[in-house]
């Protein structure tokens, strides 16, 4: 059976810094120019698939660009549009496509996506262009969306597979993906997201930020003495919903 894994280019920290030091190249340059400028900092896995071709990378860029255009890229789009872009882009990345999940778990792959392939979308999504939005990690423009998608994916067979991505607020998403005790276990992350939706319907999404933070703290603390990830799905969900109810009353 042919191996269809695309080995993505990986950009090291020196390459990230080099490109961040060339704002014109980020804004105006082409993908080929940026890849050439950072060539000495780009590597690929030695084996395990075939290297992503220029066409593959262009397909990735075209896909990201099409989604961004739907939400106002390059010249318009308010906060609501950008939040909608996050949900749509997360779902698109979560469904795989060119980025195989083994490759998508690497920070340096996402650094290359943000710095070399689609920096224009980064600068549209985050106008201040903070370096963390380009570097690999939980704050990378695209990596954070992929992490969210993996964390709250209801599964291919679910009729509303990416419903949680659309429902969650930015703050709730951050609470999930930037807390290792939650984000590293999709069972816990999904339970938190489902409970958030229920709680949000009850008290209103505009009141959810302090409630989410309190509940996330309770969950992380509880996870030290109860292996939440090992509970049955219903039991876990009930327990997490209980924390939200307590947080609402606090």
Q: Which residue, 1 or 79, is less far from other proteins as judged by CB?
A: 1
Judged by beta carbon, residue 100 or residue 125, the one nearer other proteins is 100
Question: Min. distance of Cβ 62 from other proteins in angstroms?
Answer: 26
Min dist. Cβ of residue 246 to other proteins (A) = 10
Residue 195 makes CB contacts below 8 A (sequence gap 6+) with 215, 237, 240, 241, 243, 244
- Which CB atom, from 15 or from 183, has the smaller least distance to other proteins? 183
As measured in angstroms, the least distance from the Cβ of 55 to other proteins is: 26
DSSP H/E element including 179: none
- Each as own residue / partner, the long-range contacts of residues 51-58 (CB below 8 Å, 24 or more positions apart, any chain) are 51/6, 51/7, 52/6, 52/7, 52/8, 52/9, 52/98, 56/6, 56/98, 57/9, 57/31, 57/117, 58/31
CB of 249 to other proteins, least distance (A): 14
Rounded to a whole number of angstroms, the minimum distance from the CB of residue 143 to other proteins is 10
Distance between CA atoms of residues 33 and 61, nearest Å: 14
CA pair distance 63, 84, nearest whole angstrom: 15
For residues 44 and 106, which CB has a smaller minimum distance to other proteins in the complex? 106
Residue 107 neighbours by CB under 8 Å, 6+ apart:
135, 136, 137, 140, 143
Residues at the site binding other proteins, with contacts judged by CB under 8 A: 101-102, 105-107, 136-138, 150-151, 153, 155, 179-181, 183-187, 189, 214, 217-218, 220-225, 229
Residue number, 68 or 104, with CB nearest to other proteins: 104
CA–CA separation, 113 vs 135, rounded Å? 10
């Amino acid at each position: 059976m042919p191996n269809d894994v695309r080995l993505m280019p990986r950009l090291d920290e020196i390459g990230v810094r080099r490109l961040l030091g060339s704002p014109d190249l980020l804004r105006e340059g082409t993908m080929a120019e940026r890849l050439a400028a950072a060539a000495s900092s780009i590597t690929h896995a030695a084996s395990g698939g075939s290297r992503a071709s220029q066409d593959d990378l262009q397909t990735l860029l075209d896909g990201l660009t099409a989604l961004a255009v739907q939400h106002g890229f390059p010249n318009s789009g308010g906060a609501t549009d950008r939040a909608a872009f996050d949900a749509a882009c997360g779902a698109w990345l979560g469904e795989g496509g060119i980025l195989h999940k083994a490759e998508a778990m690497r920070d340096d792959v996402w650094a290359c996506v943000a710095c070399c392939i689609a920096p224009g979308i980064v600068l549209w999504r985050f106008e201040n262009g903070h370096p963390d939005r380009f570097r690999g990690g939980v704050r990378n423009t695209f990596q954070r969306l992929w992490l969210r998608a993996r964390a709250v994916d209801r599964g291919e067979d679910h009729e509303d597979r990416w419903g949680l991505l659309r429902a969650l607020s930015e703050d709730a998403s951050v609470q999930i993906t930037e807390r290792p005790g939650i984000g590293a276990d999709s069972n816990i992350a999904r339970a938190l997201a489902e409970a958030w939706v229920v709680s949000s319907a009850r008290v209103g999404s505009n009141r959810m930020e302090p409630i989410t933070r309190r509940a996330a703290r309770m969950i992380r603390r509880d996870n030290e003495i109860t292996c939440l990830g090992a509970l049955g799905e219903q039991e876990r969900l009930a327990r997490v919903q209980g924390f939200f109810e307590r947080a609402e009353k606090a």
